[in-house]
Every structure is written in structure tokens, then in C-alpha cells.
Amino acid sequence: MECDLASLLNRPSRRAFMGTALAATGFALAAGPVAAQAIATDATGLDAGPVMIPARDGDLPAYAARPQGGKPVPVVLVVQEIFGVHEHMRDVCRRLAKQGYLAVAPELYARQGDPSKVADIPTLMKTIVSKVPDEQVLADLDSAAAWAAKSAGGDAAHLGITGFCWGGRMAWLYAAHNPRLKAAVAWYGRLAGDATANTPRHPLDIAAELKAPVLGLYGGADQGIPLDSIEKMRAAVKAAKVPAEIIVYDGAPHAFHADYRPSYREQPAKDGWAHMLAWFKANGVG
């Protein structure tokens, strides 16, 4: 199916969520000062910008980027880090589009609030993140995949997902959720945690249920994700019927790919990106 994504950019929503909007520019306040090494990817040769995706209870704001030309291209769902779909996530979409993908980053907190305006992480966790149900997120990712194939020239037969931090956990969960997914890449996503009404299961709980190959990229010095949980995950995924691999970068902290933050580590970030692209190609995304 041929489609001009440019014609969809900034199209008015039929029914936008009340009181929420995808920020047009800039980084989330809670992310802190933007570091000098922050990477900025231009949109030359791309159709890129905000879009609205029909979801189960209203239109969902998102950011999408793809090569110009209109021919069907593989789809990668980009799952936001804890700060939402701010400039770093939009830049990741443009980077993927430069590699030939239709990259779609839905604003998965849209019903709960606007994370770009929250000034600190504890408040962000309390007022927005903790209120987002996994079930809602998985359904919204399904909606984003369907929209990409139906309305934006995405090739539904070549669907991948990647997520960072909060989104890394969701990438694992989505790989156990969608049987049509070809491959997933999870960047430093939490693997274990307490069961709650909104987060009833975690990656360790669904490891044997994976329906698509998953590559996990983790930092050896991540204080929020203990190495023993990574080793437990390595053991758990052996029961899955699909391949799974976890790479740990010695000395790398959490968010080592976040080039706009002090946590950025260039070598692990570049190596992880190369492994991600290779994983997608080896498993039918591209």
C-alpha cells in the first residue's frame, strides 16, 4: 500500500484526549539540562512530524518518521523512555527513518498527562507513570502498528519494536503479546518488580512466552537493574521458542544511549545501535 505520510502530518484529531498533547519541540523538563553532545538528526529526505493514531478510546498523539517516496517500508515501533516522546525519542525515530524504516513513537502517557511539563522524576512517577496500565500500553502499540500499515505506508509483514528505559520493559512485554512481531530490542528495560494492578507481570514472568526474538542491551553499572536479574533473565529465556540474547556493557550506567544526558556512553551506545540494526535485519525487520 502506497501512502504519503506527509499528508497525514498535523492532521486534526477526530477526538483528541482532553488536556494532553504531544510537545512540538524540546526535551522533557524532568530530563534535566541537555548535554552538549546531544545528537540532532535532521529530517532531510524524510517525512517526519506529529500524527494522530486512531486508538480504542480516542485518537492517540504520536511522532512518525519515514523515508520519502511512499513505497511500503518496514515498521519499527519506538517505545518512549520514562520522559515520554520528547526530542530524544523523536530523534531516534529520524535515525531509524534514515535507515529505511517507518518509525512510530506513540505518546503512551497521553490519557494520564503530559510528561514534558513535569519538573522532576519523583513527581513524574507519582502523577503519571504509575497510573499507566500495561494493558493500555499494549493495546496502543497494537493500534500504532495497525495505523502504520493501513495509513502510513508501513509493511505489516516486517514489524519490529525497540524501547528505552520504561520502554525497554514494554518491548519485552510486547514480544510476548503480538504474534505478528518479527523482532524486539530492549534497551535497559527493568526485568523484575512487584505485581500491581497496572503492572501485573514483568519480563521475567513472561520470558517463556516470547513470540518474537528479543535482544536486550544493558549496562553493567546500572544501579536500577541488578546484574543478578539480568542473569535470571538469561536463564529464563532459554524456555522460549524464539531466540533471545542479552548484551551487558561493562561499566555502562543506565540510559547509556541517552546522548543528551550525562549517562551517555558513546561506545556502548554506538555498539548497541549497530547490534539493534543487525538484529532487525537478521529477524525479518528490513
Q: 158, 202, 254, 257: which is the annotated catalytic residue?
A: 254
Contacts for 259 with CB less than 8 Å, ≥ 6 apart: 35, 37, 38, 39, 88, 266, 269
Q: 140, 155, 222, 259: which is the annotated catalytic residue?
A: 222
CA angle 58, 62, 66 (to 5 degrees): 135
Q: b/e string for 240-279 if b means 16 or more Cβ within 10 A?
A: bebebebebbeebbbbbbbbbbebbbeebbeebbeebbeb
- Residue among 221, 141, 125, 127 nearest 181 (CA): 141
- Residue among 178, 163, 175, 166 nearest 78 (CA): 163
Instruction: Give yes or no: 165 in active site.
Output: yes
Instruction: Give yes or no: 254 in active site.
Output: yes
Instruction: Give yes or no: 177 in active site.
Output: no
Q: Dihedral through CA 236, CA 229, CA 140, CA 161, nearest 10?
A: -70
Q: 91, 93, 134, 165: which is the annotated catalytic residue?
A: 165
Active site residues: 165, 222, 254
